[in-house]
Structure 1
Amino acid sequence: MKSSLRSRRTVRVLRWRIPIPQSALMRRILGIVLVIGGILGFLPVLGFWMVPLGLLVLSHDSAIIRRWRRKLEVRFGRKRQKK
C-alpha cells in the first residue's frame, strides 16, 4: 500500500499535497478545463477558485507556469515568516 502512495503524482503547495492524474494528457485536459471553468465563474456552480487550481495542475507539466507558482510560493513564504 505504501508503494502505491509513493508512485502517486502530487503537486505540493506550501504544506499541502494535492493528488493529480497519472497521465500527462489527463493533467493537461483537467488543468485547461478548470481554467476555462474559472473564467466562466460568474455562472452558477462554476467559480473563480477554479483558475488557480487549474494553473496548479498545469504547473506540473509546464515550466513557465511552474516558475510562476514557485515565485508566488516564495513570496507568500517570506510574508509568513515576517509575521
Structure 2
Amino acid sequence: MRGHTVHLFGRTFRLPANRMARMGIGIAFIIGGCLSFLPVLGIWMLPLGLVILSIDLAFVRRWRRRADVRWGRRRKRRKAVGEPR
C-alpha cells in the first residue's frame, strides 16, 4: 500500500484523501461483512474493510502485516514441499 491506494489481486484501487472518509468506508465494509446473510454483502467485505482501515490505524496495520508474513511463509513452505494450491 502506498499513499491512498490499496493493491489487491494485481489491481490498484484509489481511496479518498480524507482520513475520515477512508475510515468511514472501512467501517462500512466491516459492518457489511457482519451482515453477510443479506444478498451482495458477504464475508469478503471484512478483510477488505480491515485493509482499508490499516492505512490509518496502526494496530490494524500490525495485524495485516503479521497476516501477510504468515501467508507468505505458508505459500513458501507449500511451494517447497510441492503441495498443490
Structure-1-length-normalised TM-score: 0.80
Residues 4-32 of structure 1, C-alpha deviations (whole Å, 9 max, x = no match): xxx96213468664432211011000000
CA gap of 1:72–1:57, structure 2 versus 1, over 3 A, is: same
Instruction: Tell me which of 14, 24, 34 is aligned to 2:19.
Output: 24
Secondary structure, counterpart of 1:80 in structure 2: helix
The answer to which structure, 1 or 2, has the higher relative contact order (CA under 8 A, 6+ apart) is: 1
- Could you tell me which runs of 5 or more consecutive residues in structure 1 were left unpaired when the two chains were aligned: 1-6
Matched, 1:36 2:31: yes
Letter of the aligned partner of 2:43 in structure 1? Answer: F
Letter of the aligned partner of 1:58 in structure 2? Answer: L
- Could you tell me which runs of 5 or more consecutive residues in structure 2 were left unpaired when the two chains were aligned: 80-85
Contact 1:8-1:19 at 8 Å conserved across structures: no
Fraction of identical pairs, as percent: 48
**What is the CA–CA distance in structure 1 between the aligned matches of 2:12 and 2:74, rounded to whole Å?**
21
Instruction: Tell me which of 55, 63, 77 is aligned to 1:68.
Output: 63
Structure-2-length-normalised TM-score: 0.78
Q: How many residues align?
A: 77
